[in-house]
Structure 1
Amino acid sequence: MAPPLLALTMGEPGGIAGEITLAAWKMLRDRDEAQFFIIGDPKHLGGKAAIATINSPQEARTVFKSGLPVLEHRLDHEVTIGVADPANAQSVLSSIKKAVDLALTGEVGGIVTNPIQKESLYSQGFAFQGHTDFLADLARKAGYEANPVMMLSAKDLRTVPITVHIALKDVPDALSRALIISQTETTVEGLSRWFGLGRPRVGITGLNPHAGEGGAMGSEEIEFISPAIADLQAKGIDATGPLPADTVFHEEARCQYDVIMCMYHDQALIPVKTLGFHDGVNTTLGLPFVRTSPDHGTALSLAGKGIANPSSLIAAIRQAASMANNDAGAPKVLK
């Protein structure tokens, strides 16, 4: 059986995406874990490696061992390594759109998105907080249900931040019983469909120190976190909490859960990046297709110096391939 075929997006052309994609290809080309191609500009990538320009996704399978397959997608402007150029913003976005189209039509088993420079996109009218919201919007416009949830993973830990890119002072007001329930349900559904976990074990943290200590250090656990957990349990979900965030991530505790739902960004990301800084993976659950990405940015300051670490991208490719192999469901179409 052939390994899953994945589409990689070009990411920010001035960053490290091209060189880490090449390094990932060199690492994986002689293995049967995954086959992939990058949607990019052969002229830009050709200086980095022996590449193989392809005209269709399936051609990647025939050339994968001999050259990095590149599905041609021209850039609008010459690239300066180490510099993010807004003139290429539309090419970057259309590379993502192409990958989503291929995933929704079943021509690839999933997509792996290379890092983008959001500031360059914002200057050209990009109206989304980041990759995840953009991908969800593309799926919805194609008629599919999309309720994206960001899951981070490294080694033996998976975490989900229930609130993401907001100021810490705004977290208590952003949290709610309904949000905790919906994010957890989407996570459980994704782990079941893509990871082969029939009934995932879910740990849910508290917001406050010591999970509020019975209301002595905050009332959010009493007001809506515990009620949300009770609702999830009533629905048959194996949910436990509220758990003190200062103790749940040590080895003996985290091994009891398949995923830990966290109340805010750093509560979820600090343990993952501590355990696996170079090989963490960002996975989006709640989309109608597989999507992973390396858990780092464009690294403009490292670009072109031959020192960029491809480990996170390699881990993202491997995880996307595993998810594609495990796929146990069909995308939900909007009514």
Structure 2
Amino acid sequence: MNNPVVLITLGDPAGVGPEVIVRSFGTGRLRKLATAVVVGPPEFLTRALQSTAVRLSIEEVDLPREASLVGELGIPVIRSSRRVLPPVQWGRGGKETGRIAAEAIIKATKLVQTGEADALVTGPVCKEVLNLAGYDYPGQTEMLAHLTNAHRFAMMLVGGELRVALVTTHCAISEVASKITKRAVLEKLEVLHQDLKSRFGVDSPRIGVSALNPHAGEGGLFGKEEIEQIQPAIKQAKAKGIEALGPFPADTLFARRAQLKLDAILAMYHDQGLIPLKLTSFGHGVNVTLGLPIIRTSPDHGTAFDIAGQGTADPTSFIEAFKLATFMVRKVKSRSACIS
């Protein structure tokens, strides 16, 4: 099997993205896993080399396949834009840094879609800054879904053996209940089931479904979403051959994961799913977008503007995101080889 080619987007140049990228290259671990190529303005990586004291060089290439010509002490970079860029201060994200981050995402996505690379690892961006730049998405997940014309997708966080997908993501807590519909829950179950099989190598996924309300609604006493929306979605998923279990009270589901032999958990909203995951995997969790026609992962942290430029940003989560992307590529290629 050929070595996977994985593209890395710069992220917001005012944040820690450039620093975690060069520090990740500095460990030597990326090269052992795949051919890694950064997409973004090279000058921000050069600045990150200075702040982190990583002794590598920036080598500009035009296409991912040219990265094989770059030596072990070089970081291959594809320039995402030819326009003249204004100065960017560490820790000060704004309209221009949002545009720079978005240009890298768009360029890298096209390269993966056209088969020039196998997967995409995105650097951290600031959602507010992306919106200031005119990219009106709740986050990179939705932006990538739009760019790849994916209509059924889901966000999943991975930390060690724990995998948690979400029905709702970045919305106000006051809006969550209205978004928990039979259709939404069933769609996420279908996407999760399919990607666990095709990209994680789980032949018969067991998915634990969380309730929305305390005590799973207590028979409707604390809310009827379980009875009217979640249970019917699970029943319909089972009819389609998906082994979905629940809904379970959220306060016990995660503790029972091993006992129930679950391959993944479907949580109803952002903090319900991510608090348990970050308690056990803070600093090395990975964000995965399910349902896209391309493989995409990202580190489970933001731009950290407050420490940008200090050379102290931890690359662990980024390295784990890169590692998981290569794992998924190999699973997909192995599955394709078996089918053919």
TM-score, reference length from structure 2? 0.91
Q: Does 1:215 align with 2:220?
A: yes
Q: Does 1:71 align with 2:78?
A: yes
- State the partner residue of 1:137: 146
Structure 1, residues 156-213: CA drift from partner, whole Å, max 9, x if none? 1001110111222221111111111011101111111111112211100111112122
Deviation at 1:228, TM superposition (A): 1.1
Identify the match of residue 128 of structure 2 among 119, 125, 129: 119
Deviation at 1:30, TM superposition (A): 7.2
Q: How does 1:242-261 map to 2 (within 5 A)?
A: 242-250=247-255, 253=258, 256-261=261-266
> Number of residue pairs matched?
326
Q: Does 1:189 align with 2:194?
A: yes
Change (3 A) 1:15 1:256: same
Structure 1, residues 37-95: CA drift from partner, whole Å, max 9, x if none? 11122222123142222221112133252211111235621121111132243332121
Identify the match of residue 68 of structure 2 among 58, 61, 66: 61
Q: Distance in 1 between matches of 2:15 and 2:183?
A: 39
Say which SS state the counterpart of residue 198 (structure 1) adopts: coil
- What is the root-mean-square deviation of aligned Cα atoms in Å? 1.9
- State the partner residue of 1:171: 176
Conservation of the 8 A alpha-carbon contact between 1:157 and 1:254: no
Amino acid corresponding to residue 248 of structure 2 in structure 1: L
Structure 1, residues 197-255: CA drift from partner, whole Å, max 9, x if none? 12211100111112122223222211121111111111111110011111111265476
Amino acid corresponding to residue 316 of structure 1 in structure 2: A
Say which SS state the counterpart of residue 37 (structure 1) adopts: strand
Conservation of the 8 A alpha-carbon contact between 2:154 and 2:165: yes
Change (3 A) 1:251 1:59: farther
Q: Does 1:100 align with 2:74?
A: no
Deviation at 1:311, TM superposition (A): 0.8
Q: Does 1:268 align with 2:273?
A: yes
Q: Distance in 2 between matches of 1:121 and 1:136?
A: 15
Q: Percent same amino acid at aligned positions?
A: 39
Q: How does 1:278-289 map to 2 (within 5 A)?
A: 278-289=283-294
Conservation of the 8 A alpha-carbon contact between 1:7 and 1:112: yes
Conservation of the 8 A alpha-carbon contact between 1:114 and 1:294: yes
Q: Distance in 2 between matches of 1:266 and 1:187?
A: 19
Q: Structure 2 regions of 5+ residues with no counterpart?
A: 50-55
Say which SS state the counterpart of residue 58 (structure 1) adopts: helix
Q: Does 1:109 align with 2:114?
A: no
Change (3 A) 1:28 1:238: farther
Conservation of the 8 A alpha-carbon contact between 1:247 and 1:253: no
Structure 1, residues 75-124: CA drift from partner, whole Å, max 9, x if none? 62112111113224333212111111111111111101101122222223
Q: Distance in 2 between matches of 1:123 and 1:30?
A: 33
Amino acid corresponding to residue 248 of structure 1 in structure 2: L
Amino acid corresponding to residue 197 of structure 1 in structure 2: V
Amino acid corresponding to residue 281 of structure 2 in structure 1: G
Q: Does 1:44 align with 2:49?
A: no
Say which SS state the counterpart of residue 246 (structure 1) adopts: helix
Deviation at 1:287, TM superposition (A): 0.5
